[in-house]
Amino acid sequence: MPVPARPLAERSSSAAFARWLEGLPALVEQVRTEWGLRRDGEPVATPGALALPVRDETDVAATLKLAFADDGGAYEHLALRHWAGRGAVTMLRADPHRRALLLERLGEEDLSAAWDIEACRPVGGLFALLHRPAPPQLRALSDVVRGWRDDLASLPRDAGLPRRLVEQALSIAAGLVEDPATDGTLVHTDLHYGTVRTRPDGEHVATDPRPLSGDPHCEPAPMLWHRWREVGDDAGALRWTMRERLDVLAEVGGLDVDRARAWTVLRLVVRARALADAGEREEVTALVRIIKAVAEP
């Protein structure tokens, strides 16, 4: 089976990923045969994963997803089992060792074409459905934040980020590491316009979680760092748009907006730091503008 390798390869350039990608066609056929599935369309590739439309032995439409074994999505199956289709795509079968999931077939449309502010409403609505006590197997968000804090603390002053924003993020991280509310809730961590799809009845559901045991207030950040280009260069428009996105997400999702703002600033700085390392100067500049728009009163 031909595999569209280019989108897949955006996830990683490691030797392990190259080996996985080379063996992917055989893996697809192996899992498909074992599970009694037949192809029902062309595969769709995203960074690090492949989705193949299939039908099972009873002619039920489904999607076979195979993903590279990185840490972020290692417990996707556990989160989907925990949600059991409530606010998230239904998982029909799983082989965690091979990172193979059989999922209900959803519509192709996501929220990428919706007005960004209006799209925040269904995403915020999913928070109440998805946020519940976390399974004990999940990694604690406080451990992740501790790693962020240590990494940011080691940054040289010429790292390409305004030092004031780095210091602000360090201050936020120091408080969150010690806060009991940082852990304990099952969080998706990557909810945005492209990871929310619709069922045939129009219901919005989450896909592609990268779950942690965390704080619901960490969730809004990806909705701010995606689709920043369409806002343009006007500082006033950027400030209004980003603050409105955050306000709507917090209001609909039942979040404390100030705590959500702190989490958003921290996650944006961490993302900007990673992109600076990758040489993505345009996006780093945009993220710095977004951080200032959200953080400043």
Amino acid at 285: T
Q: How far is CA 29 from CA 8, 32, 34, 119, 122, in A?
A: 18, 5, 8, 37, 36
Whether 277 shows a pLDDT value over 60: the answer reads yes
Which tokens go with 92?
Answer: 């029909």
Cite the residue boundaries of each domain of the chain with CATH code 3.90.1200.10.
116-295
Could you identify the residue written with the tokens 């200032």? 292
Could you report the per-residue pLDDT of 86-95, keeping only the tens digit for each? 999 999 999 9
What value does the mean pLDDT take over residues 40-61? Answer: 92
Cite the residue boundaries of each domain of the chain with CATH code 3.30.200.
5-104
Distance of CA 223 to the CA centre of its chain: 10
pLDDT of residue 8: 56
Distant-in-sequence, close-in-space partners of 106: CB < 8 Å, separation ≥ 6: 63, 89, 197, 198, 199, 205, 207
Which tokens go with 204?
Answer: 């919005």
Give the pLDDT band (50/70/90) at residue 4. low
**123 touches 88 (CB < 8 A):** no
Which tokens go with 100?
Answer: 């193979």
Distance CA 32, CA 127 (A): 33
The CATH superfamily assigned to 116-295 is Aminoglycoside phosphotransferase (APH), C-terminal lobe (3.90.1200.10)
pLDDT of residue 53: 97
Give the pLDDT band (50/70/90) at residue 296. confident
Q: Please say if 190 is a catalytic residue.
A: yes
**Closest Cα partner for 233 from 173, 286, 174, 189?**
286
Please report the sign of the dihedral spanned by the C-alpha atoms of residue 180, residue 123, residue 198, residue 268: negative
Q: Specify which residues 65 forms β-bridges with.
A: 51, 101
Residue range 5-104 in CATH 3.40.50? no
Give the pLDDT band (50/70/90) at residue 129. very high
Give the pLDDT band (50/70/90) at residue 30. very high
pLDDT of residue 201: 93
For 167, the enclosing helix (H) or strand (E) is: helix 163-177
**Closest Cα partner for 173 from 140, 150, 154, 139?**
150
The pTM (predicted TM-score) of the whole model is: 0.93
pLDDT of residue 136: 96
List % helix, strand, coil for the chain (3-state, nearest 5).
Answer: 50, 15, 35
CA angle at residue 193 from 249 to 253, to 5 degrees?
A: 20
Could you report the per-residue pLDDT of 210-256, keeping only the tens digit for each? 999 999 999 999 999 999 999 988 899 999 999 999 999 999 999 99
pLDDT mean across residues, the chain: 93
**152 touches 163 (CB < 8 A):** no
Which tokens go with 234?
Answer: 């006007």
Whether 179 shows a pLDDT value over 90: the answer reads yes
DSSP at 181: G
Identify the active-site residue in 110, 116, 183, 190.
Answer: 190
